[in-house]
């Protein structure tokens, strides 16, 4: 198959499959070949069972030949972040703690993909237990940016973004706790979507911070992520935080929901620390929307400056609780040097967890401890409510918000490793959407002077995914940024 097959959109691949010009086996083999050709450089995959992927593709071809295609994802390869359960496949969370663990069941999102006939194609690298902004915290490897192999792919879903960017899969799934889909999408020049909290089931997603985590798709185009979101969204009784609300026709909404829209520009996103070239690209996108007749309003989110502090209290507190289950007793790494039960806990965790995970567990345990709970955790929850109210007030006058996804483009590997606070600030523009539970999308909106992608973030009302997709698609269709790819 021609090399350009690797950079075709999901829609283009669907058309080739439907026309009989391409089989799922041919597509899957071509992408396996692509993975083998480029992944020594990019390091996006933790594992890939080629035989299993080809077997799924053969089944899809048989369904197509029999006239019983399951839907738009039937026969399409999709990669999964190594934090989403697939029965019989590794579930490592890129941690030594789960290095040899195999999932005994499917996540609900995985079940939806299987029902849709998707070819589950590989486990994708990530920051350990989704804790990081660069995929340098993986216990196994550092995923790099296909646009510049000396730079990071972003995190924590760096493998999911890089695999799509490098042409190894057309679409993938990641998880977003504080920007872990949108920020790597921005760095790698692809589209990344974080749904409203509760729109996609978290059942089978290994928990980092349960009130913040959300599964979402990566793709080459807005329509690609809309197709995947349509497949994985919906109420799930297995997840107590899943919302019982009908899922709109996202593809139809993209076509029917047209401008002009009322768009807000939060002044807090355009202050100190924003790279001038990133700012220029975002301003150019804002000007384009204005030229289309959209009403542009400056809005304010008064508690935005507290978002990072609030996030790192709430997220680490929940991580401290969630990660207590990794004790070396049952299915996790078990120290061989332990002499008693207490020793087993200490040594297993010391050996199994990486430095960043330990840092966050310690911080979370501290803010939940006696005498500090009210001062930190309870107060953070109250401010979280104020942050959500800021967004709701803004949405009284606008349909969506336009902001940078990240204050800067992808940085060089190792550049921020010695300064955890600088690394945490990488997500300063994405964290607030998780705290407020609202949806957000990052789309490519240009390249800087070094040829590195810049991402435009669009944030919307709760369960306003259809509007966000339409707003993003309008910009994408008028520009060619999504069709630009790294040369590798």
Q: Which residue numbers are catalytic?
A: 81, 156, 180
> Which pair of structure tokens corresponds to residue 360?
């966050």
Strands 400-404 and 453-460: antiparallel
Whole-angstrom Cα distance, residue 117 to residue 62? 11
Phi, psi for residue 243 in degrees, rounded to 5: -95, 135
Burial tier of 234 (Cβ tally within 10 Å: 0-12, 13-18, 19+) = middle
Phi, psi for residue 444 in degrees, rounded to 5: -65, 135
CA distances from 380 to 212, 317, 405, 434 (A): 14, 11, 23, 14
Assess contact for 263 and 401: CB atoms under 8 A: yes
Whole-angstrom Cα distance, residue 129 to residue 177? 11
For residue 260, is the peptide bond before it cis, meaning its omega torsion is within 30 degrees of 0?
A: yes
* Relative orientation angle of helices 10-18 and 24-42, to the nearest 10 degrees: 150
> Which pair of structure tokens corresponds to residue 481?
């940024």
Alpha helices in 43-170 (DSSP H): 50-65, 108-115, 158-165
Chain centre distance of CA 83: 11
């Amino acid at each position: 198959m021609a090399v350009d097959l690797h950079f075709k959109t999901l829609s283009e691949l669907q058309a080739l499959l439907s026309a009989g010009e391409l089989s799922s086996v041919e597509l899957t083999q071509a992408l396996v070949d692509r993975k083998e050709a480029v992944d020594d450089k990019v390091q996006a995959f933790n594992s890939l069972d080629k035989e299993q992927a080809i077997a799924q593709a053969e089944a899809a071809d048989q369904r197509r030949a029999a006239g019983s295609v399951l839907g738009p994802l039937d026969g399409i390869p999709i990669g999964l972040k190594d934090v989403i359960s697939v029965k019989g496949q590794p579930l490592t969370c890129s941690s030594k703690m789960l290095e040899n663990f195999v999932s005994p069941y499917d996540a609900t999102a995985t079940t939806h993909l299987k029902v849709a006939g998707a070819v589950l194609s590989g486990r994708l690298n990530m920051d350990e237990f989704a804790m990081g902004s660069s995929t340098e915290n993986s216990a196994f490897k550092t995923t790099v940016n296909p646009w510049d192999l000396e730079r990071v792919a972003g995190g924590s879903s760096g493998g999911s973004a890089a695999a799509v960017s490098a042409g190894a899969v057309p679409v993938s799934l990641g998880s977003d706790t504080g920007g872990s889909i949108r920020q790597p999408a921005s760095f790698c020049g692809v589209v990344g979507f974080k749904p409203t909290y509760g729109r996609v089931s978290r059942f089978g997603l290994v928990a980092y911070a349960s009130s913040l985590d959300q599964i979402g798709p990566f793709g080459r185009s807005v329509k690609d992520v809309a197709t995947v979101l349509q497949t994985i969204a919906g109420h799930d009784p297995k997840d107590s935080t899943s919302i019982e609300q009908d899922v709109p026709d996202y593809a139809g909404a993209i076509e029917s929901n047209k401008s002009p829209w009322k768009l807000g520009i939060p002044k807090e996103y355009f202050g100190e620390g924003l790279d001038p070239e990133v700012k220029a690209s975002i301003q150019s996108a804002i000007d384009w929307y204005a030229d289309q007749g959209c009403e542009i309003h400056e809005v304010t989110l008064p508690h935005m400056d507290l978002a990072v502090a609030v996030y790192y209290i709430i997220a680490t507190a929940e991580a401290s609780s969630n990660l207590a289950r990794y004790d070396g007793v049952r299915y996790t790494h078990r120290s061989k040097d332990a002499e008693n039960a207490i020793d087993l806990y200490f040594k297993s965790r010391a050996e199994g967890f990486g430095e960043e995970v330990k840092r966050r567990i310690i911080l979370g345990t501290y803010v939940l401890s006696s005498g500090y709970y009210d001062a930190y955790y309870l107060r953070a929850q109250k401010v979280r409510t104020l942050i959500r109210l800021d967004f709701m007030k803004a949405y009284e006058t606008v349909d969506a918000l336009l902001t940078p996804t990240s204050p800067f483009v992808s940085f060089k590997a190792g550049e921020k490793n010695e300064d955890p606070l600088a690394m945490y600030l990488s997500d300063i523009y994405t964290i607030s959407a998780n705290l407020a539970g609202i949806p957000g999308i990052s789309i490519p909106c240009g390249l800087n002077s070094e040829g590195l992608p810049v991402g435009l973030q669009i944030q919307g009302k709760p369960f306003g995914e259809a509007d966000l997709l339409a707003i993003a698609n309008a910009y994408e269709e008028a520009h060619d940024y999504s069709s630009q790819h790294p040369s590798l």
